[in-house]
Structure 1
Amino acid sequence: MTIDDVRNAPAGPDPDTDDEHLGDDYALTAAFVEKVVDAADAGDGERLRDLLEDLHPADIADLMGFLTSEHRSVVVLWLAPDVLAEVLPELDDSIREQVLERLPNLALAEALQELDSDDAAAVVEEMEDDQRRAVLAAMPEQDRAAIENSLGYEEDSAGRLMQREVMAAPEFWSVGDTIDHLRAQGEDLPELFFDIYVVDPQYRPVGGVAVSRLLRSAREVKLSALMEPINEIEVHQDQEEVAYIFEKYHLISAPVVDSGGRLVGQITVDDIVNIIQEENREDLLRLAGVADAGRDAGVMSIVRSRLPWLIINLATAGLAASVISAFEDQIERLVTLAVIMPIVASLGGNAGAQTLAVSVRALASRELNAANAVRIILREMSVGLLHGTALAILMAAGAYLWFQDPLLSLTVAMALMINMFVASVVGILVPLTLDRLGRDPAVSSSVFITFTTDFVGFLSFLGIASLLLL
């Protein structure tokens, strides 16, 4: 095709047609969602099929988040079993739960047979007990056994995360033997795999051969000559630890072994990406003391998840305010104290929040542990002193220009240096302590930081002011 052919080619689809379902940001357009809603309201199944035909399963899952539960109930019934199978694992947990309630058991059983065992287990896990039994009973014995085996492992473990479909070969096979075997398996091969795991007679992995390397090698070469060391994942390892291993060693896939070292499955990078995103999202929300509300969360469920932390904050704020009450007479005699005091506490709180965010991230990524904890603590103390000194100079200068009182400027500077130093120390020590106690440092650290910086900020400022100014 020449340049002139391209220039004279027919224009692309009109923006108002069904083909334009995504915007430039890869999000579904409001116009497309409205068309789906209109078709669902009219019960027009053929129209829904036309609209959803070229949509990626991830986009269909995203679409479900924009629809009401009534519209979802209509749309999901018009999805083909193979499409439904790919959509179900992509749905948010709360939305998937609603969708599962509306689907017939036979349709679910048919869809689950299209999935790898890890994705199928994740879907079955969301079902009510009665529905789970009925769906599993409608599935072939082999598929049912794979799902039940996955559900037998602890939640958030490698066993729950892995897929049982895996490609393994003995050491004495050649490249030609392996390729011939792969071709003979056909539909029985795992849907997605990157490595051939070389196993000994006890079915224990002794190495791995990347598919790309296998295809580049001569047929007569033995797998034992091509295999490379592998990172084994134990079946009971926590998924967060598995994600760390993948991230650290830049893995695409890894074999999962049982307590006897035998190969029982594999974990691939597509599953790990979801875990990393999920863990990061949880840590971010926990730092703010909230849970993931989701697009369908009700008002009362959000209130129940957030109110306890606000009550704790109220209690700690009351303790901090008691410091102000203790210096009530001094504040009455010098009203300017009430003007500057919140600034000292606020700057300390921000400094503590900065240190806390860095500390929680370092703990999550295993960059902070007992081996370097002392050095990191000393580093944050130095940072706190330098920040406090710089801000103390600026704040003292501003207070002097404003109030023309050198002692007040000195008071502000000293209080600010103390609070900034304490904020940096607490910002690193609190998450370290909670982590050592086996608690999630992202959950409650911010409450301690806010309380400490408010308390120390008020106490240091008002205490120094009562000594120097009154």
Structure 2
Amino acid sequence: MTSTVARPDAEDHVALDEDYVLTAAFVEKVVDAADAADGMGLRGLLEDLHPADVADLMGFLTAEHRGVVVLWLPPELLAETLPELDDGIREEVLERVPHGTLAEALQELDSDDAAAVVEDLEDDQRERVLAAMPETDRAAIESSLGYAEDSAGRLMQREVMAAPQFWTVGDTIDHVRLQGDDLPELFFDVYVVDPLNRPVGGIPVSGLLRAAREARLTDIMEPINEIAVDQDQEEVAYIFEKYHLISAPVIDAAGRLVGQVTVDDIVNIIQEENREDILRLAGVRDEDRGSSVVEIVQGRVPWLAINLFTAVIGASVIGWFEGTIQQIVALAILMPIVSAIGGNAGTQALTVTVRALATRELNSSNAMRTFLRELVVGVANGLILAPLIGLATALWFRDENWRIGLVIGAAMVLNLVVAATVGVLTPVTLSKLKFDPAVSSAVFVTATTDFFGFLIFLGLATIVLL
């Protein structure tokens, strides 16, 4: 694996600054070399970079420059860079790599990373690349692609270190030394299996090295957390996070060991899921540096259209109190304050609730307690903010009607209660109905706080001031 990183103190060129970010000067050198079709110069610039830095570099380059750079990457560096690329950029890069070169590069990867790359290929290119690979590697990739996209089977790597029950520590260590090239490039645990290849325990590599050679594996093995091959990747990530796992065996329906999931894959899944939830809360689909304007617009317009519809509903409330606003013009100035504060409070409660659902800190056993807590928080926030806005409003419009301060203060408290209510109940209800609470909750919460914010404020104004 390429591990050398060009640091800022390198004499020949500065690739990374002190924050591990590619420098503009280095990117410019790469662009100049690509423009000059200086392949050896490009190779000299890139060969010492870590694959993650090469992936970052690809994001800074245009499609034309990426097409030149990728052709001069050594197969091993190309292989390790492909899984690091943003999805859109990877698809573009794969179109430019000759199938023979790509087949050679994929053989350098573990089966899970290779399958992730092959998945992005067009059908005809996939067939050519797989046909150019050795039968064993091809079969491993095709087997991985046979599992559901978000399952443990797709996530796992098939390379795994397993040892039979009757082996000793010495037998295991000797096997590792003799079969090194056929073992996973990186593994953390040795899985002890029975005659039917079902895992019965695991031994950390550190524990194996500390034990005496004559010790039996069954005497030093530890319990393991097995992952079903069809288990959802979010469930797998939760198990890893809860039990602080570094790796875990994957079993098929018959309980046989078919692969393993390692923590580096789980980190990627957690980051991916968190990013997805954040984007969905904002009504935006996944975008990266390779996304086109058309793709971005297509992803955002539908949610903006929904927001437009909900905004019209909120604005219709204002029409109901047109007469009140005509008589007390100050209401038109103040009513956005009530809805805005309610929207922000609702978003706070919503974000906390969605996170609690995602991390499984919130379930039916504590849902009511969580709801009541947020309700109390809403009332407390309202009681703190109401005197402030009420006093400021009374002083501001004292020549018109000082009671406006009382109205907006009371409306603030009530709308914050509404915000807390919908901020908790909306994602919980959607989750119960098997919908993703991060997708549509934000739109509903904002629309509700706007609607009730206008209704409460203008309704109280009509009752108290007229």
Same fold per TM (> 0.5)?
Answer: yes
1:123 matched to 2:101: no
1:75 matched to 2:69: yes
Q: Which amino acid is the alignment partner of residue 314 of structure 1?
A: L
Aligned position for 1:434? 430
Report the CA distance between 1:19 and its aligned residue: 3.5
Tell me, in whole angstroms, the C-alpha distance in 2 between the residues paired with 1:328 and 1:137: 72
Per the normalisation by structure 2, the TM-score is 0.97
SS of corresponding position for 2:179: helix
Q: Which amino acid is the alignment partner of residue 265 of structure 1?
A: G
SS of corresponding position for 1:209: strand
Aligned position for 1:420? 416
Q: Tell me which of 25, 32, 37 is aligned to 1:38.
A: 32
SS of corresponding position for 2:259: strand
Cα distance change, pair 14–343 in 1 and its aligned pair in 2 (3 A)? closer
Tell me, in whole angstroms, the C-alpha distance in 1 between the residues paired with 2:125 and 2:275: 30
1:321 matched to 2:315: yes
Tell me, in whole angstroms, the C-alpha distance in 2 between the residues paired with 1:288 and 1:106: 42
Aligned position for 2:289? 295
Q: Which amino acid is the alignment partner of residue 207 of structure 1?
A: G
Q: Tell me which of 378, 382, 385 is aligned to 1:384.
A: 378
Report the CA distance between 1:148 and its aligned residue: 0.3
Conserved in 2, the CA contact under 8 Å of 1:57 and 1:83? yes
Mapping of residues 294-443 of structure 1, within 5 Å: 294-404=288-398, 405-443=401-439
Conserved in 2, the CA contact under 8 Å of 1:291 and 1:306? yes
Q: How many residues align?
A: 459
Report the CA distance between 1:375 and its aligned residue: 0.8
Aligned position for 1:465? 461
Aligned position for 1:58? 52
Report the CA distance between 1:13 and its aligned residue: 9.3
Report the CA distance between 1:259 and its aligned residue: 0.8
Report the CA distance between 1:18 and its aligned residue: 3.9
Identity %: 68
Conserved in 2, the CA contact under 8 Å of 1:18 and 1:32? no
**CA deviation map 1:85-110 (0-9, x unaligned):** 11111111111111111111111111
Report the CA distance between 1:241 and its aligned residue: 0.9
Tell me, in whole angstroms, the C-alpha distance in 2 between the residues paired with 1:263 and 1:195: 13
Aligned position for 2:213? 219
Q: Structure 1 stretches of 5 or more lacking a match?
A: 1-11
Report the CA distance between 1:266 and its aligned residue: 0.2
Mapping of residues 92-131 of structure 1, within 5 Å: 92-131=86-125
**CA deviation map 1:397-416 (0-9, x unaligned):** 11122222442122111111
Tell me, in whole angstroms, the C-alpha distance in 1 between the residues paired with 2:367 and 2:94: 47
Report the CA distance between 1:15 and its aligned residue: 6.4
SS of corresponding position for 2:261: strand
Report the CA distance between 1:293 and its aligned residue: 2.1
Cα distance change, pair 227–15 in 1 and its aligned pair in 2 (3 A)? closer
Q: Structure 2 stretches of 5 or more lacking a match?
A: 1-5
Q: Which amino acid is the alignment partner of residue 294 of structure 1?
A: D
Tell me, in whole angstroms, the C-alpha distance in 2 between the residues paired with 1:165 and 1:301: 37
Aligned position for 2:41? 47
Cα distance change, pair 78–421 in 1 and its aligned pair in 2 (3 A)? same
Aligned position for 1:132? 126
**CA deviation map 1:216-243 (0-9, x unaligned):** 1110011111101111110011111111
Cα distance change, pair 14–169 in 1 and its aligned pair in 2 (3 A)? closer
Tell me, in whole angstroms, the C-alpha distance in 2 between the residues paired with 1:304 and 1:145: 37
Conserved in 1, the CA contact under 8 Å of 2:47 and 2:77? no
RMSD of equivalent CA atoms: 1.3
Mapping of residues 163-312 of structure 1, within 5 Å: 163-312=157-306
Conserved in 1, the CA contact under 8 Å of 2:86 and 2:290? no
Q: Tell me which of 82, 85, 90 is aligned to 2:79.
A: 85
Report the CA distance between 1:390 and its aligned residue: 1.1
Tell me, in whole angstroms, the C-alpha distance in 2 between the residues paired with 1:298 and 1:145: 35
**CA deviation map 1:281-337 (0-9, x unaligned):** 111111100122211211111111101111111111101111101100110001111
Tell me, in whole angstroms, the C-alpha distance in 2 between the residues paired with 1:14 and 1:273: 28
Cα distance change, pair 16–273 in 1 and its aligned pair in 2 (3 A)? closer
